[in-house]
Amino acid sequence: MFNQTRKKLSSFYAICFFLFFVGFIIILYFALVQLMEHQQLEELETYYTEEQHDFFEHLDEQDKKIKYAPNRTYFYYVYTQDHKFVHGDETVKGFYQEIEKIFQSEDISQPLIKRTEWKNNHFLLLSKPIIGEQDSGYIILGKMVTSQHHFFQKMIWLFIILTCVFTILLGLVSYFMAGKAMIPIQQSFEKQKKFVSDASHELRTPLSIFYSSLDILEADEIDNLSSFGKELVSDLKEEAELMKDLLEKMLFLARHDQNRLEIKKESIFLSEMLENISGKFERTLPKTITFHSEIEKNVQLTGDSKSINELIYILLENASQYTQQGSIIMKLATTDTAIKVFIEDTGIGISKEDLPLIFDRFYRSDLARKRDGTGLGLSIAKAIVEEHGGTIQVQSELGKGTSFCIEFPFSKNKEAV
Ligand code: ATP
Ligand code: MG
């Protein structure tokens, strides 16, 4: 239980840290990209101021040529409003064809920002209109941002790797810290378990003396007692019996908690056992309840027959206790991997709120309180199932009935009887 909590805590911390860091990285990445672009665009804006006079200077030239200037930090192309080339310097040969394709269908009367990839290079482009007295056009300025692009790509990979490494590290650190924090809780839990176990054990002897004294009193002095005295002795015996039963249950659960239960590993003829219980149980039922069983033949289980017997009785007694009128069905079936026992009733059912709590110790629903009981039956049933490596599940609907399903890992000797 503590180990599970420890694992849950450390995974929770690691997941929180991971999500926080991923969020942080996404924000940081986009902020840096924006910042870089903003800076590049500001630079292009200054070139725009420098180069826009080229439009008027070269507009009337006959021989309009693009100058190839590979060493420039930026390139620019000047066009008329109807997309006719006027003048320009380019840093990548032939790039103007790509540029024309991009801007041909755009509204160039407004400033435009574009990002594009061409021949494995990345470019940032800015188009701005040039308004003259008679003529107007536009200028496209651009920068190659391939190295920045690669830098950001590498950075994102670095962040991903760092996040994974730190998440694993944090998971390990929080596992270690959770272990340290668990120690005092674990110690006090162990003490509490030991106290329950010791108290139940210590109370057994005085209770036995009390019970046997009542027996002696009943046997030897019964004739000397008034009718009120006789009634009192009988009530005391009944209460002592209940207390003995409660102590036995508490002791059983305390031993289960401390892994001190001695569960035998014997071969149980489960089919025969359930047939036998069915016969006996049916006879105890009132006429208002019908009982039906579907038991697969020749099923064997390895375990403690006394405990398994008790487990089945706990569930059957609950079914009869919480069914005023209706039916109870017990089924035994096997699959390739499991032996399944179903105990179903059409009784009062369990509400959705109560359902997750019914296996808790001393828990009883409000409806159940009208009847006798300690609220330990299902805790014991669960402990027995766990001791046999199985699981117990419940489905229920208020007013309609309840179905318990016990599943044990499949015993390979099923066929052998
Ligand atoms: P005891 O310890 O004497 O068995 P109990 O029956 O109250 O007392 P559990 O057997 O542990 O205790 O059951 C816990 C609670 O689960 C019950 O009080 C009841 O509310 C609910 N419950 C269990 N089985 C059924 C059932 N078949 N139908 C309806 N409610 C059920
Ligand atoms: Mg019960």
Q: Convert the chain into a string of H (helix), E (strand) and C (coil).
A: CHHHHHHHHHHHHHHHHHHHHHHHHHHHHHHHHHHHHHHHHHHHHHHHHHHCHHHHHHCCCCCCCEEECCCCCCEEEEEECCCCEEEEEECCCCHHHHHHHHHCCCCCCCCEEEEEEECCEEEEEEEEEEECCCCEEEEEEEEECHHHHHHHHHHHHHHHHHHHHHHHHHHHHHHHHHHHHHHHHHHHHHHHHHHHHHHHHHHHHHHHHHHHHHHHHHHHCHHHCCHHHHHHHHHHHHHHHHHHHHHHHHHHHHHHHCCCCCCCCEEEEHHHHHHHHHHHHHHHCCCCEEEEEEECCCCEEEECHHHHHHHHHHHHHHHHHCCCCEEEEEEEEECCCEEEEEEEECCCCCCCCCHHHCCCCCCCCCCHHHCCCCCCHHHHHHHHHHHCCCEEEEEEECCCEEEEEEEEECCCCCCCC
Quick one: pLDDT at residue 345? 97
Last residue of a domain, one of 132, 152, 172: 152
Is the CB–ligand 1 distance for residue 326 below 6 Å?
A: no
Is the CB–ligand 1 distance for residue 404 below 6 Å?
A: no
Is the CB–ligand 1 distance for residue 77 below 6 Å?
A: no
User: What domain range is 39 assigned to?
Assistant: 2-152
| 58 and 146 co-located in one domain | yes
Is the CB–ligand 1 distance for residue 179 below 6 Å?
A: no
What CATH number does the domain containing 366 carry? 3.30.565.10
In a domain, 81, yes or no: yes
> What residue type is assigned to position 302 of the chain?
T
In a domain, 328, yes or no: yes
**Cα–Cα distance measured from residue 202 to residue 342, given in angstroms and rounded to the nearest whole number:** 38
In a domain, 240, yes or no: yes
| 249 and 296 co-located in one domain | no
297 contacts: CB under 8 Å, gap ≥ 6 = 271
Q: What is the pTM of this model?
A: 0.65
Taking alpha carbons only, the member of 336, 327, 267 closest to residue 294 is: 327
In a domain, 94, yes or no: yes
| Ligand nearest to C-alpha 401 | 1
Last residue of a domain, one of 233, 257, 281: 257
| 113 and 246 co-located in one domain | no
| 244 and 322 co-located in one domain | no
Torsion of CA 366, 369, 373, 379, to 10 degrees: 10
| 8 and 79 co-located in one domain | yes
In a domain, 296, yes or no: yes
What CATH number does the domain containing 193 carry? 1.10.287.130
Q: Mutation test of ligand 1: which of 252, 316, 358, 406 has the most ligand atoms closer than 8 Å to its C-beta? A: 358
Q: Based on the structure, what is the number of domains in the chain?
A: 3
What CATH number does the domain containing 133 carry? 3.30.450
Q: What are phi and psi of 359, to 5 degrees?
A: -90, -5
Centre of ligand 1 to C-alpha 98, Å, is 79
Is the CB–ligand 1 distance for residue 253 below 6 Å?
A: no
In a domain, 172, yes or no: no
| 234 and 185 co-located in one domain | yes
The radius of gyration computed from the CA coordinates of the chain, to the nearest angstrom, equals: 42
Please list the rounded mean pLDDT of every run of 10 residues in the chain (417 residues): 84 90 91 92 88 80 78 87 85 85 83 90 91 81 91 91 91 90 87 85 89 88 86 91 90 88 90 96 95 95 94 96 95 94 96 95 87 90 95 96 95 45
Neighbouring-strand partners of residue 329 = 292, 344
Neighbouring-strand partners of residue 405 = 342, 393
Residue 231 buriedness (CB in 10 A; 0-12 / 13-18 / 19+) = exposed
User: How many residues are there in the chain?
Assistant: 417
Q: Mutation test of ligand 1: which of 378, 394, 400, 406 has the most ligand atoms closer than 8 Å to its C-beta? A: 378
Is the CB–ligand 1 distance for residue 375 below 6 Å?
A: yes
Query: Cα dist. 52→45, 47, 112 in Å?
Result: 11, 8, 16
Quick one: pLDDT at residue 412? 54
| 83 and 117 co-located in one domain | yes
Last residue of a domain, one of 228, 257, 286: 257
**Cα–Cα distance measured from residue 8 to residue 299, given in angstroms and rounded to the nearest whole number:** 38
In a domain, 223, yes or no: yes
| 274 and 390 co-located in one domain | yes
**Cα–Cα distance measured from residue 242 to residue 248, given in angstroms and rounded to the nearest whole number:** 10
In a domain, 215, yes or no: yes
8 A C-beta contact, residue 117 and residue 80:
no
